[in-house]
A and B are shown apart, each in its own frame.
Chain A
Amino acid sequence: EAQVTQNPRYLITVTGKKLTVTCSQNMNHEYMSWYRQDPGLGLRQIYYSMNVEVTDKGDVPEGYKVSRKEKRNFPLILESPSPNQTSLYFCASSPGTGAFGENIQYFGAGTRLSVL
């Protein structure tokens, strides 16, 4: 089954304790992206990757790191989490093909993070 898998689904941690949220897709997609969703603000893009070893900042990259060493995986790293990073996080992937911007995004089920 084609899917985007995030782990863990729920995470409670404390300020300053490094954590990693994993994201994996089995569709051989070129593009992957991380978003956070906060009440009243919609989804905001954190980082995206257009291919292996190619990453770039979205609108809210501060406090986050990413890496793309393999095509299927795109982990999100919080080196020193703070309470303002409490949020619902989504990973997405897209084929990245199509001459006219066809880029349907497929989303994971989300990771709810609480930083105390």
Chain B
Amino acid sequence: KQEVTQIPAALSVPEGENLVLNCSFTDSAIYNLQWFRQDPGKGLTSLLLIQSSQREQTSGRLNASLDKSSGRSTLYIAASQPGDSATYLCAVRPFTGGFKTIFGAGTRLFVKA
């Protein structure tokens, strides 16, 4: 059964620091992996989606990588800002047909001004 783990559960960094959030999954048979941002009391906003055939995706200060063979993805945030404070979740869509989606529990990020 596919399991998704995100470490650390929480992270506090000073403004301006570059940081990496980790996501690992147990079964490499996936269609894609998606990174989301969730602000308190709000829904999820899609940040980046990496297809199974891709190695990375970039959007502004964000870069997400995917290594299916090792079951790992990283979200790199450059020059962090207080506005980046949120919970970041990764989710995989297993290669089992249908539209199942498995989420990690998230990393809560706090960027100090």
Q: Which residues of B line the A interface, CB within 8 A?
A: 4, 31-32, 34, 36, 41-46, 49, 51-53, 89, 91, 93, 98-106
Contact = CB atoms under 8 A, between A and B. Distances in A.
Contacts, number: 78
Given A42-B4, A90-B44, 13 more contacts: A41-B105, A43-B103, A44-B103, A48-B98, A48-B99, A48-B100, A56-B99, A58-B101, A101-B93, A102-B51, A103-B99, A105-B101, A107-B36
Contact of B100 (A42, A49, A58, A102): A58
Give chain B's interface secondary structure class.
Answer: strand
Identify the interface centre among B32, B42, B99, B106: most chain A CB within 10 Å of its CB.
B99
Contacts of A106: 46
A110 B43 contact: yes
